[in-house]
Amino acid sequence: MTQGATRGKVLVVDDDAALAEMLTIVLRNEGFEPVVCLTGDKAMGAYREHRPELVLLDLMLPGKDGIDVCREIRAESGVPIVMLTAKNDTVDVVVGLESGADDYVVKPFKPKELVARIRARMRRFDEPAPESLEVGDLTIDVAGHTVRRGGELINLTPLEFDLLVCLARKPWQVFTREVLLEQVWGYRHAADTRLVNVHVQRLRAKVEVDPEQPEIVLTVRGVGYKAGPA
């Protein structure tokens, strides 16, 4: 818990002042540099001002709610977004994920759990070796974090990129949702497979020519997903 070099700037968007303050204490203890924003309306301004490496976003906010904030940030950037939600009902979680959140944590969470989720989302900053992968008609430059179809650049969030790379590295392997949760999201125990379903949909919407008939990310019924042939 040293206050040495910061591990990254984290924007905390939560209307509950006490929780926001507590979050800053915990994050600071873990070596992050937290920035607090108490309303949804000011969230975009704060994001543009601080350019954080990760956003912690409460789903229920007065004024502009978390879903809208999430969409707006996503429209501008692929920054990792972790939602804080008080509800574990499918509808709320799926709506949050579909609006662009990478992961979610259900209140009340343990600080360690939250930190683990944040670290998992930021871990990609350990730069990988240069590597080039091919899936279908896509070319992936792993070190450069770019995906191209022909000469055209496809804009993916870091999470979507990780998901695609994970599948593309082993095109012969079928990944179960649990394995993907572990490799892409960093969950060591079984977690919510809805995360995988929603993000596969989002990824398909971006990389597939026809998302109704996927050729890049294929569903293996009853098992999971695999990459399409190169």
Partner 1 sequence: MPTPAPAPTLRSAVTAAVGGALSWLLRPVRAVALSWRRSLQARVVMLTLLLSALVVALVGWMLLRQVTDGLVESKRDASLQDARQGFADAQGFVDSTDPTNLDPVQLLSDLFQRLNEPGAASGQYRVVLTGPAGQWRSLPSDAETIPAELVSRVEQPRPLGSAAPTAWTYTRIGDATAAGSVPAIVVSSQVVLPSDGGTYTLSFLFPLGEQVDTLNVVRGAMLTAGSLLVVLVVGVAFLVIRQVVTPVRLARRIAERLAAGRLQERMQVRGEDDIARLGMSFNQMAASLQQQIRQLEELSRVQRRFVSDVSHELRTPLTTVRMAADVLHDAREEFDEGTARSAELLQAELDRFEALLSDLLEISRFDAGVAALELDEVDLAEVADRVVTATHLLAQRRGSTVEIRTAGRPGDRPSGRPGDRPGDRPGDRPGDRPGDRPGDRPGDRRCVAEADVRRIERIVRNLVANAIEYGEGGDIVVTVGASDDAAALTVRDHGVGLATEEASMVFNRFWRADPARARTSGGTGLGLAISLEDARLHGGWLQAWGEPGNGTQFRLTLPRRAGQMLERSPLPLVPADARRASVGAAYLMPQLRGAQP
Listing from the earlier edge strand, what are the strands of the sheet with 9-13?
33-37, 9-13, 54-58, 81-85, 103-106
* Beta carbon nearer to partner 1, 75 or 91: 91
Binder to partner 1 among 8, 9, 19, 226 (CB under 8 A)?
Answer: 19
Alpha carbon 12 to its chain centroid, in Å, reads: 15
| Identified binder of partner 1 from the candidate list 7, 9, 16, 197, rule CB under 8 A | 16
Which is closer to partner 1, CB of 105 or CB of 166? 105
Pick from 87, 134, 141, 229: which binds partner 1 (CB under 8 A)? 87
Q: Which stretch in 20-28, 68-76, 96-104, 157-165 sits in contact with partner 1 by CB under 8 A? A: 20-28
Residues 6+ apart with CB under 8 A from 45: none
Nearest residue (CB) to partner 1, 4 versus 108: 108
Query: Is there binding between residue 111 and partner 1 (CB under 8 A)?
Result: yes
Phi, psi for residue 103 in degrees, rounded to 5 = -155, 170
Q: 93: closest CA among 66, 120, 121, 53?
A: 66
Q: Is residue 112 a contact point for partner 1 (CB under 8 A)?
A: yes
User: Whole-number minimum distance, CB 185 to partner 1, in Å?
Assistant: 18
Considering CB under 8 A, how many residues would be counted as binding partner 1?
19
Residue 139 β-bridge partners? 134, 148
**For residues 35 and 63, what is the distance between their CA atoms, to the nearest angstrom?**
20
Out of 71, 107, 145, 226, point to the residue binding partner 1 (CB under 8 A).
107
**In this chain, which of 2, 5, 108, 188 binds partner 1, going by CB under 8 A?**
108
In sequence order, the 6+-apart residues with CB closer than 8 A to the CB of 226 are: 167, 171, 173, 174, 175, 217, 218, 220
The token duo for 52 is 């954080």
Cβ nearer to partner 1, comparing 10 with 165:
10
C-alpha 27/C-alpha 109 separation (Å) is 14
Give the residue with the Cβ less far from partner 1, 139 or 197: 197
Interface characters, 31-70, with partner 1 (x: CB under 8 A): -----------------------------x----------
Residue 97 CA to residue 42 CA, distance in Å, equals: 21
Give the interface with partner 1 as residue ranges (CB under 8 A): 16, 18-19, 22-23, 25-26, 29, 60, 84, 86-87, 89, 107-112
